Amino acid sequence: MTTQAQPVETPTVRHAREGSPWRGLGAVLAKEMADQLSSARMRILEGLIVLTSIAAVYGAIRNLRTTVAQDAFLFLRLFTTAQEPLPALVGFLAFLVPLIAISLAFDSVNGELNARTMARVLSQPIYRDAFLMGKFLAGLATVALVLSAIWLLIFGLGLVALGVPPSGEEVARSLWFLLLTIFYGGVWLALGMVFSVVFRQPATAALASIAVWLFFMVFWGIIASVLAGSLMPIRSGFLEEWLAQRQLEMTLLNLSPNTLYVNATLALLNPAIRSLGLVLPFQLEGALLGNPLPLRQSLALIWPHFTGLVAGTILLFALGYVLFQRQEIRV
């Protein structure tokens, strides 16, 4: 006799689910965001990022004051000017935003499992979709809120210190920069969430997320150049060979969200930048060097980077979503 029952009805063959997958999303979102904003963790992160931002902008302002103000995009310089030994604000954000996003997400799912609240929440009339989406959106909204506050702070400081109002284009460019930074955070938030689904221990999830972050921050540049060197070796010293190698290296580098973010912000905040790829001297023939690009052209330039970050966020979230849906909740 087999243990298999007769296939009277196979509930695995599902028809449409009842009701909306987003039922309860608002409640989860509101509760998660209230949790995030009132947590001690958030206060530490806010303090950290506000201090570093002020330091970076202060350095930039001091630097800008010494130069003669002949710049059409003075406000944007606030973001990109570095005063030794501090890096520019953009550099700080490239470094800090992943940390903030990871620290908001690494215990989002496994924390509920360990606190034994998961089974209770999932036995309410909501789907898992709403639960995970609510958590993710709350994280993203928190990142957006913090970054917007910093953005406003910088504008305020800039107005007081520089005494010049920003032009419409500067505002538009920096708003795009804000959006870009939020999705840069989104990638790391989704990554932290994936690990919080995969690992039962929050500490393991945090460590795994930090490991990925360090990998892209420190090692990916080295690995990309080694890989490009070995896959596309320069044998005879032709320009084509050298170009192919550089091209491969840049493609590899662009797999890192950090590279995508830094390159895109540079092009957004530096209207004079005309290309993010390789430019050969003959391609510059007839170009008006030093002239700023209009916003539309800068956006066209960074569009692949921007969509890359958004796509990364969505893909990682989808991965976490699938893993979470398949997870057996037994608490």
Partner 1 sequence: MDAIIETQDLSKHYGDFVAVDRLNLQVHEGEVFGVLGPNGAGKTTTILMLLGLTEPTSGVVRVAGLDPGRQPLSVKAQVGYIPEQVGFYEHLTARENLVYTAKLNGLSRELTRERIESAMERVGLSDALDHEVRTFSRGMRQRLGLADVLVKAPRIIIMDEPTQGLDPERALEFLELIRSLREEDVTILLASHLLYQVQAVCDRVGLFYRGQMVLQGTVPDLARQVLGGAYRIQLELATPDDAVVEAIRRVPGVVSVHPLNGQGYEVEARDDIRPAVARAAIQAGAQLLRLDIRAQNLDDIYTAYFGEVRDDNASTTG
Site of interaction with partner 1 (CB under 8 A): 3-12, 14-15, 17-19, 23-24, 26-28, 30-31, 35, 115-127, 328-331
d(CA 89, CA 265): 11
Nearer to partner 1, 40 or 160 (CB): 40
Min dist CB 13 to partner 1, Å, is 10
Q: Which residue's CB is nearer to partner 1, number 211 or number 329?
A: 329
Contact predicate 327/201, CB 8 Å: no
Q: Which is nearer to partner 1, 13 or 239 (CB)?
A: 13
Nearer to partner 1, 15 or 296 (CB): 15
Q: Residue 21 Cβ, how far from partner 1 at the closest point, in Å? A: 10
Task: Compute the distance between CA of residue 299 and CA of residue 62 in angstroms, rounded to an integer.
Answer: 30
Q: Which of these, 57, 286, 227, lies nearest to 159 by C-alpha position? A: 57
Q: CB of residue 325 vs partner 1: minimum separation in angstroms?
A: 11
Q: Give the nearest distance from C-beta 1 to partner 1 in angstroms.
A: 11
Measured from the CB of residue 42, what is the shortest distance to partner 1 in angstroms? 13
DSSP string, 37-102: HHSHHHHHHHHHHHHHHHHHHHHHHHHHHHS-S--TTHHHHHHH--BTTBPPHHHHHHHHHHHHHH
- Residue 292 has φ and ψ, to the nearest 5°, of -70, 150
Angle between helix 239-253 and 220-231 (nearest 10): 150
Of residues 19 and 156, the one with the C-beta less far from partner 1: 19
Nearest to partner 1 of 27, 223 (CB atom): 27
CA distance 84 to 242: 34
Minimum CB separation from partner 1 for residue 224, in Å?
A: 41
CB 196 within 8 A of CB 105: yes
Q: Cβ of residue 35: shortest distance to partner 1, in angstroms?
A: 8
CA dihedral for 82, 87, 89, 90, sign (positive or negative): positive
Tokens of 173: 């460019």
Which CB, 38 or 236, lies closer to partner 1?
38
Distance of alpha carbon 317 from alpha carbon 314, whole angstroms: 5
Q: What distance in Å separates the CA atoms of residue 329 and residue 331, rounded to the nearest whole number?
A: 6
Q: Which C-beta is closer to partner 1: that of 31 or that of 246?
A: 31
Nearer Cβ to partner 1, position 24 or 271? 24
Among residues 90, 175, 103, which one has the least CA distance to residue 139? Answer: 103
Tell me how far, at minimum, the Cβ of 2 lies from partner 1, in Å.
Answer: 11
The two structure tokens encoding residue 121: 């929440």
Using CA atoms, how far apart are residues 288 and 272, in angstroms rounded to an integer? Answer: 10
Closest approach of partner 1 to the CB of residue 309, in Å: 32
